[in-house]
């Protein structure tokens, strides 16, 4: 029988390039909920070796990306071999950086991927699907009745997102639409190139009649297999935790494994359907409240970082 888990959660690349350091922090908090704070350490990329010596883990978990040239992990492997410690990676940018996943596979005992389609196509014995999640502490909000916009979105203006919003713009004219992020073109009058903090994004999710959920079309290192993503991204779970009602643009049906259509999430395919969802939510505030609460409860029950931490411990043999 293995000794109790003693976990170090560390970034796989420098924080100056990390657009979502909350994943590391939230995962460490998730492990702490299961094991107690004294059994869990957390480290940025540059301090990992010092943190290993200080914390003496028997499981090192690295959530993040292997994209950057400085993302090299031989010293991590040497420490783990010397001390009988398992090394696990949670790849959080599949399939967009799939061509560089070899860095994790050549060094780790277990690899987790955020994307089910990636796991299906790679078909490796030490690879497990593990969707991203949400944190009650960081993302949770009370479901609101007083709302200040009809449709909210925050994210980078990838080509698929620009196409959808340009097509939807005429149908959205009667409504207050707030779009934030980077690279938005001037012809989308409701969009602004302004970044928001995680806390501000969750506040806006919470205050919008509908939160728009659109996937991503930018591949950085996904040329060998050119896989399409199948698993919803982290903001699906973060928005649900924040008490949002999401209008999810359907580019695949894996969403139904995480949120129930019509009861916990609203699906649409065309601009006309999106405008109709706005009208339906305006016409039936009680239904909107019910969907927001149901999505939040589903997220609390199944899609927290504590649940993902539990799965990592199971796969690594601690449970």
The mean pLDDT value for 32-42 works out to 98
For residues 94-119, average pLDDT: 85
Work out the angle between the directed axes of helices 271-283 and 159-172 (0-180°, nearest 10). Answer: 60
H or E segment and range at residue 151: strand 149-156
Indicate the burial class of 74 (C-beta count within 10 angstroms; 0-12, 13-18, 19 or more): exposed
User: What does the alpha-carbon distance between residue 298 and residue 319 come to, in Å, rounded to a whole number?
Assistant: 24
User: Is it true that 7-133+304-315 and 138-302 share their CATH fold?
Assistant: yes
pTM of the model: 0.94
Encode pLDDT of 202-243 as tens digits.
Answer: 999 999 999 999 987 664 555 565 567 899 999 999 999 999
> Is residue 294 classed exposed, middle or buried when 0-12, 13-18 and 19+ CB atoms within 10 A define those classes?
middle
CATH code: domain 138-302 is: 3.40.50.2000
pLDDT at 192: 98
Tell me the two tokens of residue 294: 């149901």
* Domains of the chain, residue spans: 7-133+304-315, 138-302
Strand order in the sheet with 177-182: 191-192, 177-182, 149-156, 208-213, 246-249, 266-268
Answer positive or negative: Cα dihedral of 319, 133, 163, 184: negative
CB-side neighbour CA atoms (13 Å) of 209: 21
**85-105: pLDDT as tens digits:** 999 999 998 776 776 667 788
What is the three-class DSSP state of 15? helix
Which residues lie across from 127 on neighbouring strands?
111
Strands (E) across 159-272 are located at: 177-182, 191-192, 208-213, 246-249, 266-268
Task: Report the percentage of the chain scoring pLDDT > 90.
Answer: 80
Tally of residues, the chain? 319
- State the chain's mean pLDDT as an integer: 93
Helices 285-302 + 271-283 axis angle, to 10: 110
**Beta-sheet strand order (sheet of 127-129):** 40-43, 7-10, 59-64, 86-91, 110-113, 127-129
Q: What is the CATH number of domain 7-133+304-315?
A: 3.40.50
Residue 57 contacts by C-beta under 8 Å, 6 or more apart in sequence? 6, 7, 8, 41, 85
């Amino acid at each position: 029988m293995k000794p109790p888990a003693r976990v170090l959660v560390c970034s796989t690349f420098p924080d100056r390039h990390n657009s979502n350091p909350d994943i590391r922090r939230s995962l460490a908090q998730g492990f702490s909920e299961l094991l107690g704070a004294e059994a869990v350490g957390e480290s940025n990329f540059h301090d990992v070796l010092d943190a290993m010596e200080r914390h003496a883990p028997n499981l090192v978990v690295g959530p993040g990306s292997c994209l950057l040239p400085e993302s090299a992990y031989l010293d991590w492997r040497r420490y783990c071999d010397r001390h009988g410690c398992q090394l696990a990676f949670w790849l959080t940018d599949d399939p967009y950086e799939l061509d560089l996943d070899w860095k994790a596979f050549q060094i780790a005992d277990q690899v987790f991927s955020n994307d089910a389609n990636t796991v299906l196509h790679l078909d490796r014995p030490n690879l497990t699907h593990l969707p991203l999640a949400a944190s009650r502490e960081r993302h949770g909000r009370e479901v609101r009745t007083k709302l200040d916009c009809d449709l909210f979105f925050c994210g980078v203006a990838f080509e698929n997102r620009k196409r959808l919003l340009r097509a939807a713009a005429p149908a959205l004219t009667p409504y207050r639409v707030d779009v934030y992020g980077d690279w938005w073109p001037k012809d989308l009058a409701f969009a602004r190139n302004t970044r928001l903090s995680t806390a501000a994004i969750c506040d806006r999710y919470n205050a919008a009649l509908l939160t728009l959920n659109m996937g991503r079309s930018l591949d950085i290192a996904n040329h060998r297999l050119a896989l399409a993503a199948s698993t919803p991204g982290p903001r699906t779970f973060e928005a649900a935790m924040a008490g949002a009602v999401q209008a999810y643009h359907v580019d695949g049906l894996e969403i139904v494994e995480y949120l129930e259509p019509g009861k916990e999430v609203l699906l649409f395919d065309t601009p006309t359907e999106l405008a109709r969802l706005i009208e339906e939510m305006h016409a039936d505030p009680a239904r909107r409240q019910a969907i927001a609460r149901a999505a939040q409860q589903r997220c609390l029950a199944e899609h927290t970082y504590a649940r993902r931490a539990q799965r990592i411990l199971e796969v690594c043999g601690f449970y």
